[in-house]
Structure 1
Amino acid sequence: MTVPTALPIVQAPMAGGPSTPELAAAVAGAGAFGFVAGGYLTPDVLRDELDRTRALTSDPIGVNLFVPGSRAPDPAAIGAYAARLRPLAEELGAELGEPRWEDDGFDAKIDVLVSAGIHTASFTFGCPAPEIIARLRAAGVRVVVTVTDVGEAEIAAGAGADGFVVQGAEAGGHQGTFDPARRNETPLAAALDSIASVGLPMIATGGITTAGDARAALDAGAVAVQIGTALLCTPEARTSVPYRRALLDRTYEDTVITRAFTGRWARGLANPFAVEHSDAPGGYPEVHHLTRPLRAAATAAGNPDVPNLWAGTGWTAITAEPAADVVRRIGADL
């Protein structure tokens, strides 16, 4: 499997806000591969997002979905976490959310993808069942699975995947580990080296924000690179104002891997909430639903100390230029 674009660059699907049809179209127009982020969307909204993207570009596009996981292993721990967060909720004038499990409309979204005429479906948080992959491939859809180690890659290959998104520990946002309790500490270069033995094409992601980063990943065996953090402050992204300011103003000194926001390990800027609650219990999406009203209230108030501000380790290279310019800069000489 190769990326069907002039440049070996893929736009990361950044669910929950930053990804937009305009971003996917701008990336595609610059010669790279655009993605629609299907996570958190209802099946009907996903179809609308695809229609809007198709109205903006006729280039090949992809869609990313979250593979449903198991219910939280320790509901009592989530209850105790809620009690810790209650004073903050009162301070923000918000109610804590219900820590509920759901499958994010997974099966209905698969139905959408089968009939949508997309080029690629990518998956994170696990590997879809072989029959789902076979159904998508029968509809002409290529399937790639986010993996972080060779064991996950072997599972995905055995299920019929066409390739991998190999995610290093440098990546911003959620870690794609199949086991949500396992924190990924493997750098991208090491992950590419070990997963190459499985023998399927690899798209590299994690900390790639410059042309040098992209060249290093391709030289390490990737067929393409996936960029997300580099696109967060483009005008086409739906990144919130406090999120943009925190990135561009260097409000926080570093990034941190934390479970504070969603109950799944994820990398973001080291704001007070991420740091103070890094020991939050596991349980996705229960913790995500619990903290979501707090994050929304803080964002609405322009307060960057509470929301998740996903960012990879290369975040200090972020600029506020248009998406096409970012793609061309990273794709220089590839």
Structure 2
Amino acid sequence: MTHPALARAEAFAATYGLRRPVLLAPMAGACPPALSLAVMRAGGLGACGALPMQPPAILAWAEAVREAGPFQINLWIPDPAPVRDPAHEARLRAFLGGFGPAVAPEAGDAMPPDFFAQCEAVIQARPRIVSSIMGLYPPDLVARFKASGIAWWATVTTVAEALAAEAAGADAVVAQGAEAGGHRGSFDPARAEMAAVGLMALLPAVVDAVTIPVVATGGIADARGAAAALLLGEIEDRIAFLRSLRVPPPGRLAGTWSNLFGTVTVTPGTDGGLAVKVDANEPITARWTCGAEGKGRLAGDVLTVSLGEDGSALTLAREGETLTLGAVPGKGEAEGTADYCGLNGSVDGTYFFVTPAAPAR
């Protein structure tokens, strides 16, 4: 019987005419046709990192691999024009010249191939997929790609970038973790270091945020990494797995529980009740969004914690190895809102056991 995670990956691959859910990374300067042909003939997706290529070279590459099956072509979204500093450039040339041949004064005038001419070549080449990195394609190009039967995959490095890509019409996002080499496909290079997130933390957050397929990349080097990425592919898969475990943490609810968005601490009281403290934060920036404290007693399998005279409350219930937390709005509050949360904040969700609580004194 095929595991649901693998079945999902195989179904995604079949959508693009692949026999295996393995995709060659479109590394600029490291995608000779022979490499893609080997991957494609094994059932995976060939790829061309076309950043340094002129339009005729893009077309020639596509023709060299077309007979073997589907492939993708990747382009970098252009950077803004650089701010030139002649004095600084002169110092750099002198420094680099100390390690090899002299650097010509006009070296800094070099320009990459024309981006829009490259896009025209991609439309003419008609790959199964065009992918982007360092940003998003303009709407008019997205429309033309799709009119030509070319799907668009957008490389993203944060949840915010994934949401922007989906809103712009991407057919899938490629979640690229901080492990992905010396640089990543961040939309804003100035924030790239501050927003660096490892793949195994980034992947489930992106999957939970978007409705389109998510491809994992960055630091996957063996079968263990591939299996972990597949299992992180759907929140339902992760929750079902954890609920299936039958070695409960001590104390039923007592202890510290966490998920990507925050922490719930349940502490036994000397009176037999349970004290609950909830803190929720926005992922990546860790900006506070919600906070609440209260006490309650178990009634059957559910702990209800009253938070105010308006009737607002929290409900906590164990489900296998998980804790489900729900916010009950007070009178006059809309469903899904709470006066102890900031704008767009929420504490609802599934939390996972971290540490047992200290015994009551």
Cα shift at 1:146: 0.5
Is 1:20 paired with 2:32?
yes
The answer to whether the aligner puts 1:67 opposite 2:77 as a matched pair is yes
CA distance in 2, matches of 1:105, 1:19: 20
Name the counterpart of 2:203: 192
Structure with higher strand content: 2
1:128 is aligned to 2:137: yes
Matches within 5 A, 1:138-177: 138-177=147-186
**Aligned counterpart for 2:59 among listed residues 28, 34, 47:** 47
**1: CA distance, partners of 2:87 / 2:81:** 14
Q: Which amino acid aligns with 1:187?
A: G
1:137 to 127, 146, 158: 146
Paired residue for 1:293? none
Mark the CA change 1:104 to 1:174 in structure 2 (over 3 Å): closer, same or farther: farther
Q: Work out the number of aligned pairs and report it.
A: 217
Alpha-carbon shift at residue 194 of structure 1 (Å): 1.7
What code does the residue aligned with 2:91 have? Answer: A
Match of residue 11, structure 1, among 5, 18, 24: 24
Q: 2:93 touches 2:102 (CA, 8 Å); kept in 1?
A: no
1:13-72 per-position Cα deviation (integer Å, ceiling 9, x unaligned): 1112x2110011101111111101111111111111112222xx4311110011112122
Cα 1:82–1:209, aligned 2, differ >3 Å: closer, same or farther?
farther
Change beyond 3 A, Cα 1:87–1:106:
closer
Aligned to 1:144, what secondary structure does the other structure show?
strand
Matched to 2:157, the amino acid is T
Which residue number in structure 1 is paired with residue 277 of structure 2?
Answer: none
SS at match of 2:173: strand
Question: Structure 2: any 5+ residue segments left out of the alignment?
Answer: 1-10, 235-361
- Please list, as runs of the form range in 1=range in 2, the aligned pairs for 1:221-232 lying within 5 A after superposition: 221=233
| Residue matched to 2:221 | 209
Out of 217, 224, 231, the position equivalent to 1:219 is 231
Q: Is 2:104 aligned against 1:93?
A: no
Normalised by the size of structure 2, how large is the TM-score? 0.56
Inter-partner Cα distance in structure 1 for 2:159 and 2:130: 21
Query: Which stretch shifts more, 165-174 or 133-142?
Result: 165-174
- Residue-by-residue CA offset, 1:307-332 (whole Å, 9 max, x unaligned): xxxxxxxxxxxxxxxxxxxxxxxxxx
Which piece of structure 1 moves more, 92-101 or 128-137? 92-101
RMSD of the alignment, in Å? 2.0
CA distance in 2, matches of 1:118, 1:210: 28
- Letter matched to residue 140 of structure 1: G
1:182 equivalent in structure 2 = 191
Q: Which amino acid aligns with 2:136?
A: C
Local SS of the residue matching 1:22: helix
Contact 2:171–2:212 under 8 Å retained in 1 = yes
Q: Deviations over 1:138-187 (max 9, x none)?
A: 10001011101111112111111101111000002431010121224200
Amino acid at match of 1:170: E
Q: What SS does the aligned partner of 2:107 have?
A: coil
Instruction: Please give the per-residue CA displacement for 1:84-104, whole angstroms capped at 9, x wherever unaligned.
Output: 451432441242563247463
The answer to which structure has the higher helix fraction is 1
The 1:144–1:82 alpha-carbon spacing in structure 2 relative to 1, beyond 3 Å, is: farther
Change over 3 Å in CA distance of 1:61–1:215 after alignment to 2: same
Question: Structure 1 residues 194, 15: CA separation in 2 closer, same or farther (over 3 Å shift)?
Answer: same
1:80 corresponds to: 88
Specify the SS of the correspondent of 2:162: helix
